[in-house]
């Protein structure tokens, strides 16, 4: 069973990083077949007409070809292509993909060498979490299974479970103490209800579905709808943080890993809006997809893996 838990965790992690790749790199990897005629800062608008192939080493040198705005074989334009691209990254054939990503400039603009080098961090994080960590978890569960069935007595197993329960139920400031302010008491009772948690999860799911529907050459009405829903869910995230701050105080927020992550995301998005920098805003909004992982706690196998990861952290 533990091995099956790891498999479910790996599949879900693979899907989440595919969504993140879509949010960060979607519709940005296109380029003109004539790299010289539509070089940066040119782009899709300049990629028209025809060109002559001047590559003397090519068998089609001197031939006339129409210009076209194409995407590379491995890209992040939709979920399927994103998964195939990450699958190739898992096979350690990622150099060309990382080079293409680091050359990204903007939507409908031609690439420029190493224009966005920081995008390579996405693949570093993915290889650590999706490949190295997942493989270590897989091996760790197998070794733990051998050790648990090799000379371990019932007393040893009961002792290990007892230690885990102590760690899990250790009192945390602001969480295990009841607030004295009547408003904090009522807000805490609200945030602990099943209905509130379901509402938060539904908001995350709807936001992800909107981000999945984003595509190139979208009409103005679609772009307007996307902007409106981004503002709505941005306000909803702020509301959640405010309610939890009233209910648990700043200590309770700092002891909740997911709340800290939400604070980082909402502050980053706010900075992007304040600085009017769409690149920063798009990059941080894509990390909002990591909130999907919180929904994984509703699935027992995934929750066991997440609890194991938290226990292993220093």
pLDDT reported for residue 79: 79
pLDDT-based confidence at 241, cuts 50/70/90?
A: confident
What is the rounded average pLDDT for all residues in the chain?
Answer: 75
pLDDT-based confidence at 75, cuts 50/70/90?
A: confident
Give me the percent of the chain exceeding a pLDDT of 90. 0
pLDDT tens digits for range 135-185:
777 776 666 666 655 555 667 667 777 777 776 666 665 555 677 788 888
Report which of residues 190 and 279 the model is more confident about: 190
SS (H, E, C) the chain: CHHHHHHHHHHHHHHHHHHHHHHHHCCCCCEECCCCCCCCCCECCCCCCEEECCCCCCCCCCCEEECCEECCCCCCCCHHHHHHHHHHHHCCCCHHHHHHHHCCCCCCECCCCCCCHHHHHHHHHHHHHHHHHHHHHHHHHHHHHHHHCCCCCHHHHHHHHHHHHHHHCCCCCCCCCCCCCHHHHHHHHHHCCHHHHHHHHHHHHHHHHHHHCCCCCCCHHHHHHHHHHHHHHHHHHHHHHHHHHHHHHHHHHHCCHHHHHHHHHHHHHHHHHHHCCHHHHHHHHHHHHHHHHHHHHHCHHHHHHHHHHHHHCC
Judge whether residue 247 has pLDDT over 80.
yes
The verdict on pTM exceeding 0.85 is: no
Rounded average pLDDT over 277-302: 61
Judge whether residue 124 has pLDDT over 80.
yes
pLDDT tens digits for range 194-213:
888 888 878 877 877 787 77
Give me the percent of the chain exceeding a pLDDT of 70. 70
Report which of residues 193 and 47 the model is more confident about: 193
């Amino acid at each position: 069973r533990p091995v099956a838990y790891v498999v479910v965790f790996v599949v879900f992690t693979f899907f989440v990083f595919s969504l993140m790749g879509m949010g960060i790199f979607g519709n940005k990897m296109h380029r003109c077949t004539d790299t010289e005629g539509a070089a940066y800062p040119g782009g899709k608008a300049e990629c028209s007409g025809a060109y002559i192939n001047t590559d003397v080493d090519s068998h089609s040198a001197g031939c006339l070809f129409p210009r076209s705005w194409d995407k590379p074989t491995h890209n992040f334009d939709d979920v399927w292509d994103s998964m195939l691209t990450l699958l190739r990254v898992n096979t350690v054939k990622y150099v060309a993909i990382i080079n293409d990503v680091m050359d990204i400039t903007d939507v409908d603009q031609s690439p420029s060498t190493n224009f966005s080098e920081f995008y390579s961090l996405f693949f570093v994080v993915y290889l650590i979490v999706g490949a190295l960590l997942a493989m270590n978890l897989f091996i760790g569960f197998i070794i733990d299974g051998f050790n648990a069935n090799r000379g371990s007595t019932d007393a040893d197993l009961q002792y290990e479970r007892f230690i885990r329960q102590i760690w899990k139920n250790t009192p945390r400031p602001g969480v295990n103490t009841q607030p004295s302010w009547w408003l904090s008491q009522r807000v805490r009772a609200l945030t602990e209800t099943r209905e509130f948690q379901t509402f938060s999860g539904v908001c995350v799911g709807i936001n992800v579905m909107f981000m999945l529907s984003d595509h190139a050459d979208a009409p103005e009405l679609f772009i307007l709808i996307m902007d409106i829903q981004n503002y709505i869910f941005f306000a909803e995230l702020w509301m959640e943080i405010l309610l939890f701050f009233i209910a648990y105080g700043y200590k309770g927020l700092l002891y909740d890993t997911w709340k800290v992550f939400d604070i980082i995301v909402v502050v980053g998005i706010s900075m992007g809006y304040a600085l009017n920098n769409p690149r920063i805003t798009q990059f941080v909004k894509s990390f909002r997809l990591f909130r999907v992982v919180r929904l994984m706690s509703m699935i027992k196998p995934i929750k066991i893996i997440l609890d194991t990861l938290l226990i292993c952290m220093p």
